[in-house]
């Protein structure tokens, strides 16, 4: 069953757009990059306007909270060297580079294209061969 939703005007560019059916009640911005940036900025402003979030990134208690989290999750944003060595070996052998050899093209080895040699044959001979072999 297909449901048709009414178009909505984007809060940023003021152009009508069809909202995503899964998000029709909450989508107020279209999918253009400037409108998505405006949506993100508005969302952050709403979050910072709440009293419990206003000093979320300031103060000694929050500095200590972040310090503790970083200590408990050391290397969160980095891949550890021990994890790299624990990785299983590749299923194929590493390639060994081979030296390049330059080859000279000899003129006597090049042949004319097949189409060129075909059209040089007399038409009678080609028709004769086609008649006996049954191939056109």
- Residues 8-29: pLDDT tens digits? 999 999 999 999 999 888 999 9
What is the pLDDT confidence band of residue 59, given thresholds at 50, 70 and 90?
confident
pLDDT > 90 fraction of the chain, expressed in percent and rounded? 32
Distance CA 34, CA 40 (A): 10
Cα 30 from Cα 9, distance rounded (Å): 8
Helix extents (H) in the chain = 33-49, 60-72, 81-86, 114-120, 123-133
Give the H or E element holding residue 16.
strand 16-17
**pLDDT at 53 (0 to 100):** 87
| Mean pLDDT, range 79-97, rounded to an integer | 65
* Residue given tokens 């009414």 in the structure block: 6
Cα separation values, 89 from 47, 58, 78, 127, Å: 47, 46, 21, 63
Q: How far apart are CA 91 and CA 19, in angstroms?
A: 46
Dihedral sign, Cα of residue 41, residue 13, residue 18, residue 36: negative
Residue 85 scores a pLDDT above 60: no
Is the pLDDT reported for residue 122 higher than 90? Answer: no
Position 123 scores a pLDDT of 72
Res. 42 pLDDT band, cuts 50 70 90 = very high
> Residue 91: pLDDT band by 50, 70, 90 thresholds?
low
Residue 55 has pLDDT above 90, yes or no: no
């Amino acid at each position: 069953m297909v449901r048709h939703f009414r178009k909505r005007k984007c809060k940023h560019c003021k152009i009508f757009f069809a909202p995503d059916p899964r998000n029709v009640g909450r989508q107020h911005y279209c999918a253009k990059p400037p409108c998505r940036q405006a949506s993100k900025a508005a969302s952050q402003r709403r979050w910072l306007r709440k009293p419990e979030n206003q000093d979320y990134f300031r103060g000694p208690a929050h500095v200590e909270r972040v310090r503790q989290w970083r200590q408990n999750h050391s290397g969160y944003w980095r891949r550890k060297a021990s994890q790299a060595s624990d990785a299983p070996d590749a299923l194929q052998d590493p390639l060994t580079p081979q030296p390049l050899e330059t080859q000279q093209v000899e003129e006597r080895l090049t042949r004319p294209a097949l189409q060129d040699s075909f059209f040089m044959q007399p038409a009678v001979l080609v028709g004769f061969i086609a008649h006996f072999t049954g191939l056109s």
